Amino acid sequence: MPTPDPDTSQAERDRRRAHRLAFGDILRSARADVGLSQEGLAELAEVSRPTIARIETGTHSVSIDRLWALAAGLGVPAHILIARTEDRAAELRDRLWYPR
């Protein structure tokens, strides 16, 4: 995981972490929905299987190029992955960092 920038607020670091975790959840779910293993998606997206594992666990951020490759491998438009990630990140922030 990246070293926190001392100039970045805790709230911003929490937001970024929530997005990484949420994208990992969404990617794992989408991969399962189409019946792909991590290895299968890695091959289609031209990345390594450990990279898929790190993305799914939220320890690795995704570049825009990698987002497009993952979406293409899943057969899902990238904007769908992003929208689902936004929804899931909001749930995670509410539940993990700002519980009611």
CATH number of the domain bearing residue 41: 1.10.260.40
State what percent of residues in the chain have pLDDT above 90. Answer: 71
Residue 91 confidence (pLDDT) above 90? no
Amino acid type, 53 = A
pTM, to two decimals: 0.84
Residue 45 in domain: yes
Please tell me the predicted confidence (pLDDT) of residue 58: 94
Residue 16 in domain: yes
Number of domains making up the chain: 1
Instruction: Using pLDDT thresholds of 50, 70 and 90, give the confidence band for residue 10.
Output: confident
- On whether the CB atoms of residues 48 and 42 are closer than 8 A, the answer is yes
Domain encompassing residue 54? 11-97
State what percent of residues in the chain have pLDDT above 70. Answer: 89
